[in-house]
Amino acid sequence: MPHSLRIDEKQNSGYPSVVAAILFPCLGLSLRALFDYELISYALMWPVVGATAVGAGLLLAIGSRQFLFRPGSVASVGGTIVLLAGVYGYGASSVVNAVYDDSPAIEYSTQVLDKHISSGNHTSYYLKVNAWEPVASAEDVQVSSEYYNHVRTGQKVDIALHNGRLGVPWFTVLE
């Protein structure tokens, strides 16, 4: 049956909404990108995210065109499309940039200045590392709990800098 799914949900509508089916994978992708990949600068990532979000938004708008321009639907359908496209744009761009990066890593060594733990719903472990080649100031980097417990303040740690498949440099602490 054509046009049986819609991107927004109206109360008492016979059309099921696909928002959750699209939103949750996009959120998962974005959260993985936030927790797994440290970017040198987000300024280089935003144009890539924007282009990806525009492409995803156009595809969602085309797929929702029969609902998009109905009276009273423009704001809800349009807002949903912008939200979904933005979340997908960030997650997909970041993951593609790191996962498909086959450039050789450049290793740097820097000193651990401090350590701290952030807790709440999720516990995160951070090392504050001294400035190193492309990073001009001390910065917190997230590490595993095992590595956090192993490393001492004042100790040297190695960092691998990658070019990024999409040209957005990112790095990891070599554990």
pLDDT digits (tens, 9 = 90+) for 129-164: 999 989 999 999 999 999 999 999 999 999 999 999
For residues 118 and 80, what is the distance between their CA atoms, to the nearest angstrom? 32
- Rounded to whole angstroms, the Cα distance separating 50 from 47 reads 5
Q: How many CA atoms are closer than 13 Å to the CA of 40, on its beta-carbon side?
A: 20
C-alpha to C-alpha distance for 81 and 149, rounded to whole angstroms: 43
**How far is 28 from 123, CA to CA, in rounded Å?**
18
pLDDT at site 24: 92
For the segment 24-74, what is each residue's pLDDT rounded down to a tens digit?
999 999 999 988 899 999 999 999 999 999 999 999 888 877 777 777 777
Residue 104 CA to residue 173 CA, distance in Å, equals 15
Q: pLDDT (tens digit, 9 = 90+) per residue, 75-122?
A: 778 888 899 999 999 999 999 999 999 999 999 999 999 999 999 888
Pair 134, 40: CB distance under 8 Å: yes
CA 148/CA 127 separation, integer angstroms:
7
Give the per-residue pLDDT at 167.
Answer: 95
Rounded to whole angstroms, the Cα distance separating 106 from 52 reads 28
Cα 40 to chain centroid, rounded:
14
